[in-house]
């Protein structure tokens, strides 16, 4: 019996290694959307950009500590739908790690 080509293509993507580097997100649109209008807009934008930069730094130091499956799942979750976010990516990885620890 032959496996449909589409199934093989999907299966092949699951076998691809995850890069040792975290993905490159453009978080400025994410932060601009989060910034409120009015006098506090620039402060909120700068705070958001700083939080995203801090999350990226933490991801850079801890990325290889997370299983490749968690990396793949969380990159998709943090970059699909809304604008991408390193904060969301980091939170996803932490939650997956903690959930796996609870199962043990």
> What DSSP state is assigned to residue 64?
G
Residue 67 — left, alpha, or beta (φ > 0 → left; ψ -120 to 50 → alpha)?
beta
The CA-based dihedral angle spanning residues 99, 65, 91, 59, taken in that order and rounded to the nearest 10 degrees: 180
- 8 lies in some domain: no
- 53 lies in some domain: yes
At residue 37, the pLDDT reads 53
Phi and psi angles of residue 66, each rounded to the nearest 5 degrees, phi first? -95, 140
Cα gap 68→21, rounded to integer Å:
12
Please, what are the averages of pLDDT over each run of 10 residues along the chain (104 residues)?
Answer: 41 44 90 69 84 97 95 93 89 95 86
Q: How many domains does the chain have?
A: 1
Domain extent, residue 57, equals 25-103
């Amino acid at each position: 019996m032959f496996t449909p080509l589409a199934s093989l293509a999907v299966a092949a993507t699951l076998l691809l290694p995850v890069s040792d580097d975290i993905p490159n997100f453009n978080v400025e649109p994410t932060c601009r959307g989060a910034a409120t209008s009015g006098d506090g807009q620039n402060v909120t934008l700068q705070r958001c950009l700083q939080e995203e930069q801090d999350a990226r730094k933490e991801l850079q130091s801890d990325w290889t500590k997370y299983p490749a499956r968690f990396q793949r799942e969380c990159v998709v979750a943090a970059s699909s739908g809304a604008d991408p976010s390193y904060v969301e990516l980091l939170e996803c990885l932490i939650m997956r790690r903690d959930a796996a620890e609870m199962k043990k």
